[in-house]
Amino acid sequence: MTKETSMLLRLGPTLTLFAALSLFFLTATGSSIAVAASSEERAQLPLFEVPHKPESTLTASEQRGANLYAYYCAVCHGKNGEGDGFNSSQLSTPPAKHDDATFMSTFSDVDVAKAIKGGGPALGRSTDMPPWGRVLTDREVSDLVAFVRTLSKQ
């Protein structure tokens, strides 16, 4: 007897028992295996609706900025711009709260771009904010400014 045949002989009773128990539980619970439902039964079934992907309210520029913000900024400023990022507790000065509309209204888009490019010192603020001007392109800075503006409107 080969190894494979021996294994099949040992599994045979187990598989038979499994099949019998499966049929028992299906019939005991009132379940049935239907191949096709009648048109009357199909009419009573709930309609399947394809789920829709939620549409973003962000513009293309704001969405690019959101991706950059998640990568470069959220570690200090927090995912939603609340100044509660992972690294915020390690800073000597709390990070700016981009979700604060009153605070953010004191800065123009040019000021925000200047802070991103030159860091906090570019606006006379904390040196904890690093300059990103050599890392980010002008378009990326513009996208970040667009996204940061959405945070204070939520």
> Residue 145 carries which side chain, given as an amino acid letter?
V
- The answer, yes or no, to whether residue 49 has pLDDT greater than 70, is yes
Q: Which pLDDT does position 56 carry in this prediction?
A: 82
Q: Which pLDDT does position 5 carry in this prediction?
A: 55
- The answer, yes or no, to whether residue 51 has pLDDT greater than 80, is no
| Mean pLDDT calculated for residue range 47-59 | 80
Cα separation, 70 vs 61, whole angstroms: 14
> Residue 133 carries which side chain, given as an amino acid letter?
G
Q: What is the CATH number of domain 60-151?
A: 1.10.760.10
- The answer, yes or no, to whether residue 36 has pLDDT greater than 70, is no
| Mean pLDDT calculated for residue range 36-53 | 72
Total residues found in the chain within this entry: 154
Q: Which pLDDT does position 37 carry in this prediction?
A: 63
Q: Which pLDDT does position 153 carry in this prediction?
A: 87
Q: Which pLDDT does position 2 carry in this prediction?
A: 64
Calculate Rg over the CA atoms of the chain.
30
Is the separation of the CB atoms in 83 and 95 below 8 Å? yes
Read off the tokens for 137: 């392109």
* 131: CB partners within 8 A, 6+ apart: 117, 118, 119, 121, 122
| Mean pLDDT calculated for residue range 98-119 | 97
- The answer, yes or no, to whether residue 151 has pLDDT greater than 80, is yes
Q: Which pLDDT does position 53 carry in this prediction?
A: 75
